[in-house]
């Protein structure tokens, strides 16, 4: 287990290294920030001074080496726009995105698994067919459109929920959270549901497919032949088996929830990382873009690692193979 | 729970009367079991023999009440210790399942839940019917493992199924079926997936367990040689019906139904070494559009016009029943 873990961590570090090169090169290709940052009336000398101060006069490989040596000391450079450490800027927006993503994930799990289980257990009932049809809408309608419709219906016409911002926040451990206040939760609800809709449909369909498949297995019939109550057969024998693919997918999807909250955050004006990255791309604020992308890379790598470990907890067969 | 009156001892453990289990499919009604009757006495072993699709497994699942839609028991009585199982509610049935009636499945690789440890799967089976502590249940599970010949049962308890061989897993399944010392065990081809040597060991152990505890046993198989060494009575099923049944010696030594001849002829034996094995021509008929009359007639060398009617049940000798117009004394081959 330990060697396996060490090997996995080493692999993860290699991926981070490779990604840093890709990200750095890609960001340098998409455009010249100087054009955006400097007013057209600036003289040639002012231009040169600014370029030198940003370190953009050096060759790309040198810029990269500087970036890596800074990164190893925990700095990803200063934002061109805010002149603050880029990493700090990204981190200051992290809690907003994180709480949104976690709430969306919770909605996806708490609604998706029970509905999927129901649809899997009663495949022919009207309710199940309605649920399945709804789930097709859930992952085929574009997020931005659903978000706009939700704002129109629930915020504008019914006036039940606010349409933008984080609402009232509470500071805990120096970080501002929305989910701890009633007003904040109200503000979170629409964007979280919007963000959750796709994952919810996916969890639902995954659960239903897993339930249908597992129910036909001999061990389920054997469990019933032992005289177990249906609650135990479904709740333990079936559910524990279908949790394996669901945990895998959800672990990876948490990463994409955070990474792709961009659309939802933009529509609901949620001041998270997604909003920051969109704004930064407009002004070609390279350090912030790089810092954000590197953080997403780290996030995915870490989540993959956690999923692998969780997987081995859930599935004893994986546990044994990984030891050898 | 186990109050055995005097009348109980004399009446058979299980009496199945004219059982019909049909599956209502889109393409029509599939008569998987179509009027099956037999009895199994206390401590007796009945061999239920037939090809794949003859309805023998469905008969077993009907008795233990695990027929899922679109299947349904449409008529007949299943008298288990004088109670009609087909009339019981699901809750009453659940209290019997695994407790008084147990079942062993065909494929030991699939019967144990791969993600639960052996002790979890055994303890839950004990606690489903007895209100005792977890420690007691675990001790009972350990004893049951020892009883079916599993070495170092304490270690095996904390193993996962994939850490055990097929033979070991089938012993675990048998141990689970024995946990409550049931009155009836339905074994659905439990040794088919195992090595011949393991098969022999398991047969011997099951036979001993059944004799020791007075457990009635229904042994579902397609292997007549297993039945010959194990069963007291045998019933040969074809297309949802029993075509020949009776005492194991008289049915196997003096078989009369052409289908039983075919089954016996297709077992390799040392006496008839280097001769071609006899095959039954054709395949089991499609149960969805079964014409009336004897279902075997399309594959039978002796069939004639008479076979287009349903053959009546005859009793050529005591404890030997038959459903055929043309009983054959000699082997057809």
Contacts of B103 in chain A (CB under 8 A): 222, 225
pLDDT tens-digit profile of A189-209?
888 898 889 889 999 999 999
DSSP assignment string, A106-141: HHHHHHHHHHHHHHHHSTTSHHHHHHHHHHHHHHHS
B103/A222 Cβ within 8 A: yes
B96/A227 Cβ within 8 A: yes
Contacts of B95 in chain A (CB under 8 A): 227
Mean pLDDT of A166-174: 72
Q: Which residue of B has its CA nearest to A320?
A: B163
Mean pLDDT of A134-158: 86
- Comparing B34-38, B216-220, B318-322, the range with the smallest average pLDDT is B318-322
Of A223, A224, A315, the CB nearest to B115: A315
Banded pLDDT at A110 (limits 50, 70, 90): very high
Q: In this structure, which long-range contacts are made by residues A146-150, counting pairs with CB atoms below 8 Å and at least 24 apart in sequence?
A: A146/A194, A146/A197, A147/A190, A147/A191, A147/A194, A147/A263, A147/A264, A147/A267, A147/A268, A148/A267, A150/A190, A150/A193, A150/A194
d(CA A193, CA A160): 14
Among residues A150, A223, A230, the alpha carbon closest in space to that of A190 is found at A150
Banded pLDDT at B5 (limits 50, 70, 90): very low
Q: Which residues contact A29 (CB under 8 A, 6 or more apart)?
A: none
Among residues B311, B324, B188, B201, the alpha carbon closest in space to that of B260 is found at B324
B115/A240 Cβ within 8 A: yes
Four-residue CA torsion sign, A154, A158, A160, A161: positive
Share of chain A above pLDDT 70, in %: 97
Looking at residue A147, what is its pLDDT? 86
**Closest-CA distance of chain A to residue B224, Å:** 25
Looking at residue B275, what is its pLDDT? 66
d(CA A293, CA A92): 15
Residue B276 carries which DSSP code?
A: P
**Degrees, nearest 5: CA angle A210-A213-A216:** 140
Looking at residue B9, what is its pLDDT? 53
Contacts of A236 in chain B (CB under 8 A): 116, 124
Of B111, B128, B129, the CB nearest to A222: B111
- Work out the mean pLDDT of chain B and round it to a whole number: 83
Rounding to the nearest 10 degrees, give the CA dihedral for residues B4, B8, B10, B13: -100
d(CA B184, CA B33): 20
Q: Which helix (H) or strand (E) holds A62?
A: helix A60-72
Whether the per-residue pLDDT at B182 is higher than 60: the answer is yes
Note if the bond before B70 is cis, omega within 30 degrees: yes
Describe the crossing of helices A126-140 and A182-215 by its angle, rounded to 10 degrees: 120
Domain map (residue ranges) of chain B: 6-100+184-192+221-323
Mean pLDDT of A26-41: 74
- Work out the mean pLDDT of chain A and round it to a whole number: 83
pLDDT tens-digit profile of A248-292?
888 878 888 887 788 888 888 888 888 888 888 888 888 888 888
Looking at residue A217, what is its pLDDT? 87
Contacts of B121 in chain A (CB under 8 A): 223
Banded pLDDT at B269 (limits 50, 70, 90): low
Q: Report the Cα B10 to chain-centroid distance in Å.
A: 22
pLDDT tens-digit profile of B127-143?
888 889 888 999 988 88
CATH number 3.40.190.80 is the correct assignment for the domain at B6-100+184-192+221-323? no
Q: Could you give the C-alpha distances from B309 to A224, B228, B305, in angstroms and in order?
A: 40, 32, 8
Contacts of A315 in chain B (CB under 8 A): 114-115
Q: Which residue of A has its CA nearest to B112?
A: A219
Among residues A196, A193, A191, the alpha carbon closest in space to that of A266 is found at A191
Contacts of B122 in chain A (CB under 8 A): none
- Comparing A80-84, A98-102, A231-235, B79-83, the range with the smallest average pLDDT is A80-84
- Comparing B23-32, B137-146, B271-280, the range with the smallest average pLDDT is B271-280
Q: Report the Cα B106 to chain-centroid distance in Å.
A: 10
Whether the per-residue pLDDT at B61 is higher than 70: the answer is yes
Which of A219, A313, A321 to probe by mutation at the B interface, max B CB count within 10 Å?
A219
pLDDT tens-digit profile of A63-78?
888 888 888 887 777 7
- Three-state secondary-structure class, residue B187: strand
CATH number 1.10.3720.10 is the correct assignment for the domain at A91-284? yes
A244/B162 Cβ within 8 A: no
d(CA B22, CA B325): 26
Contacts of B66 in chain A (CB under 8 A): 221, 224-225
Residue B64 CA neighbour count, 13 Å, CB half: 31
Mean pLDDT of B294-321: 81
Looking at residue A114, what is its pLDDT? 92
Q: Which residues contact B269 (CB under 8 A, 6 or more apart)?
A: B225
Contact between A178 and A99 under an 8 Å Cβ cutoff? The reply is yes
Domain map (residue ranges) of chain A: 91-284
Q: Which residues of B touch A (CB under 8 A)?
A: 64, 66, 94-99, 102-103, 105-107, 110-117, 121, 124-125, 128-129, 160, 162-163, 173, 176
**Degrees, nearest 5: CA angle A233-A239-A242:** 135
pLDDT tens-digit profile of B67-98?
888 888 888 888 888 888 888 888 888 888 98
Q: Which residues contact A270 (CB under 8 A, 6 or more apart)?
A: A96, A97, A100, A164, A165, A166, A191, A261, A264
Of A219, A226, A228, the CB nearest to B110: A219
pLDDT tens-digit profile of B155-172?
888 888 888 888 888 889
């Amino acid at each position: 287990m330990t060697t396996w873990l060490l090997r996995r961590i080493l692999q993860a570090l290699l991926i981070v290294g490779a990604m840093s090169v890709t990200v750095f090169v890609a960001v340098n290709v998409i455009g010249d920030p100087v054009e955006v940052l400097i007013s057209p009336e600036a003289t040639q000398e002012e231009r040169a001074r600014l370029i030198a101060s940003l370190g953009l006069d050096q060759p790309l490989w040198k810029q990269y080496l500087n970036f890596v040596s800074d990164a190893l000391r925990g700095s990803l450079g200063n934002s061109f726009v805010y002149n603050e450490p880029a990493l700090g800027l990204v981190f200051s927006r992290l809690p907003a995105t994180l709480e949104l993503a976690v709430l969306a994930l919770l909605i996806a799990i708490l609604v998706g698994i029970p509905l999927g289980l129901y649809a899997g257990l009663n495949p022919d009932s009207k309710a199940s067919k309605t649920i399945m049809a709804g789930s097709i809408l859930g992952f085929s309608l574009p997020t931005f459109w659903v978000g706009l419709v939700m704002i129109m219906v629930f915020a504008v016409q019914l006036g039940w929920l606010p349409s933008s911002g984080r609402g009232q926040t509470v500071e805990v451990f120096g970080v501002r959270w929305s989910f701890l206040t009633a007003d904040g939760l109200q503000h979170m609800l629409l964007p979280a549901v919007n963000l959750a809709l796709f994952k919810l449909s996916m969890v639902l369909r995954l659960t239903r497919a897993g339930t249908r498949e597992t129910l036909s297995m001999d061990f389920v019939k054997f469990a019933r032949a032992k005289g177990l109550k249906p609650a135990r057969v479904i709740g333990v024998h079936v559910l524990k088996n279908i949790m394996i693919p669901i945990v895998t997918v959800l672990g990876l999807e948490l990463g994409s929830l955070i990474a792709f909250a961009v659309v939802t955050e933009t529509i609901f004006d949620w001041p998270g990382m997604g909003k920051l990255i969109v704004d930064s791309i407009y002004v070609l604020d390279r350090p912030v873009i790089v810092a954000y992308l590197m953080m997403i890379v780290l996030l995915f790598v870490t989540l993959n690692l956690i999923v692998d470990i969780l997987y081995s907890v859930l599935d004893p067969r994986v546990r044994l193979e990984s030891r050898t | 729970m186990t109050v055995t009156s005097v009348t109980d001892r004399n009446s058979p453990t299980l009496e199945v009367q004219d059982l019909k289990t049909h599956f209502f499919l889109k393409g029509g009604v599939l008569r998987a079991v179509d009027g099956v009757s037999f009895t199994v006495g206390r401590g007796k072993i009945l061999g239920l023999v037939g090809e794949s699709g003859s309805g023998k497994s469905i008969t077993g699942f009907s008795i233990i009440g695990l027929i899922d839609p679109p299947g349904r028991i449409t008529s007949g009585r299943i008298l288990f210790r004088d109670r009609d199982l087909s009339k019981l509610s699901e809750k009453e049935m659940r209290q019997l399942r695994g407790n008084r009636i147990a079942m062993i499945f065909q494929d030991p690789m699939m019967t144990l839940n791969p993600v639960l440890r052996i002790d979890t799967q055994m303890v839950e089976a004990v606690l489903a019917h007895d209100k005792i502590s977890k420690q007691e249940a675990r001790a009972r599970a350990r004893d049951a493992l020892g009883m079916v010949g599993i070495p170092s049962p304490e270690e095996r308890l904390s193993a996962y199924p994939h850490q055990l061989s097929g033979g070991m897993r089938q012993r675990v399944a048998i141990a689970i079926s024995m946990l409550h010392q049931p009155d009836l065990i339905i074994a659905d081809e439990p040794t088919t997936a195992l090595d011949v040597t393991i098969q022999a060991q398991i047969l011997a152990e099951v036979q001993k367990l059944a004799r020791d505890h007075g457990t009635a046993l229904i042994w579902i198989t397609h292997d007549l040689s297993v039945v010959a060494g194990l069963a007291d009575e045998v019933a040969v099923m074809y297309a949802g019906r029993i075509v020949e049944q009776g005492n194991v010696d008289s049915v196997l030594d003096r078989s009369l139904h052409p289908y039983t001849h075919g089954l016996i002829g297709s077992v390799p034996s040392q006496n008839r070494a280097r001769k071609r094995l006899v095959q039954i021509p054709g395949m089991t008929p499609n149960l969805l559009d079964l014409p009336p009359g004897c279902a075997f007639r399309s594959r039978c060398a002796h069939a004639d016009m008479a076979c287009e009617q349903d053959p009546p049940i005859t009793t050529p000798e005591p404890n030997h029943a038959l459903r055929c117009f043309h009983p054959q004394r000699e082997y057809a081959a």
